[in-house]
C-alpha cells in the first residue's frame, strides 16, 4: 500500500462549517499527503463523515486515506478517472481526523484493498 507521501488528495468541505476544509487540508499536509487543492462542496449531499472519490489508479490510495477517518466513510469508485488523486469530501458528520494510533489500528482492521465493483476483481456468474 502507498505511503501518505505518495497519495495526492483534494479536500472538499461539505460540512457546512466555514474553514474546515483548509484546516483539515493543513493537517493532512502535516501527515505528508500531497495536497492537490481545497474547495467547498454543497453539504446537503454528504451526510457521512467522509466520501472518498477515486479512479482505477488510486484504489490503494483510497484504501489508505479511508483509515484517517472514523466511519461511516463512503468509497465512490469512478472508472472514468485517470489520475491517482483521491477526492476527500468532508461530510456533515465529520468532526476530526483519527490519531496516528487510530489510523494504524484502522489499517490493520481494514486489511488489503479489494477490487471495486465492476472491475476485474469481480466474478461474473453469466453463462
pLDDT of residue 116: 82
User: Per the domain annotation, does 118 fall within a domain?
Assistant: no
Closest by Cα among 15, 59, 62 to 40: 15
pLDDT value for 55: 95
Q: Specify the pLDDT at position 43.
A: 83
Inform me whether the pLDDT recorded for 34 exceeds 50: yes
Q: How confident is the model at residue 45 (pLDDT cuts 50, 70, 90)?
A: confident
Is it the case that residue 110 has pLDDT exceeding 80?
yes
120 pLDDT exceeds 90?
no
Asked if residue 11 lies in contact with residue 31, where contact means CB atoms within 8 angstroms, the answer is no
Q: Which of 26, 24, 17, 3 is nearest to 88 (CA)?
A: 24
What's the rounded Cα separation, in Å, for the pair 69 and 61? 14
- 112 pLDDT band, cuts 50/70/90, is confident
Residue 63: domain span: 4-110
Torsion, CA 108, CA 3, CA 77, CA 12, rounded to 10: 110
Question: Does residue 42 belong to any structural domain of this protein?
Answer: yes
Number of domain units in the chain? 1
Residue 86 cell numbers, joined: 483521491
Residue 68 within any structural domain of the chain: yes
Q: Answer whether residue 22 is part of any domain.
A: yes
Q: At what angle do helices 59-66 and 100-110 cross, to 10 degrees?
A: 130
Q: What is the mean pLDDT of residues 18-41?
A: 96
The answer to the question of residue 76 being in a domain is: yes
Mean pLDDT confidence for 41-64: 93
Average pLDDT score, the chain: 91
* pLDDT-based confidence at residue 121 (cuts at 50, 70, 90): low
User: What CATH number is attached to the domain comprising 73?
Assistant: 3.30.70
Confidence of residue 124 (pLDDT cuts 50, 70, 90): very low
> Does residue 86 lie within any of the structural domains?
yes
Amino acid at each position: 500500500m502507498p505511503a501518505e507521501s505518495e497519495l495526492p488528495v483534494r479536500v472538499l468541505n461539505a460540512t457546512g462549517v466555514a474553514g474546515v476544509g483548509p484546516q483539515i487540508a493543513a493537517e493532512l499536509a502535516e501527515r505528508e499527503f500531497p495536497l492537490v487543492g481545497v474547495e467547498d462542496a454543497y453539504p446537503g449531499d454528504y451526510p457521512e463523515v467522509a466520501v472518498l472519490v477515486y479512479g482505477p489508479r488510486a484504489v490503494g490510495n483510497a484504501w489508505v486515506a479511508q483509515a484517517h477517518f472514523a466511519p461511516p466513510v463512503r468509497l465512490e469508485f469512478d472508472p472514468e478517472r485517470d489520475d491517482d488523486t483521491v477526492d476527500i469530501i468532508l461530510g456533515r458528520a465529520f468532526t476530526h481526523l483519527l490519531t496516528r494510533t487510530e489510523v494504524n489500528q484502522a489499517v490493520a482492521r481494514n486489511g488489503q484493498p479489494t477490487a471495486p465493483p465492476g472491475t476485474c476483481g469481480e466474478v461474473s456468474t453469466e453463462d
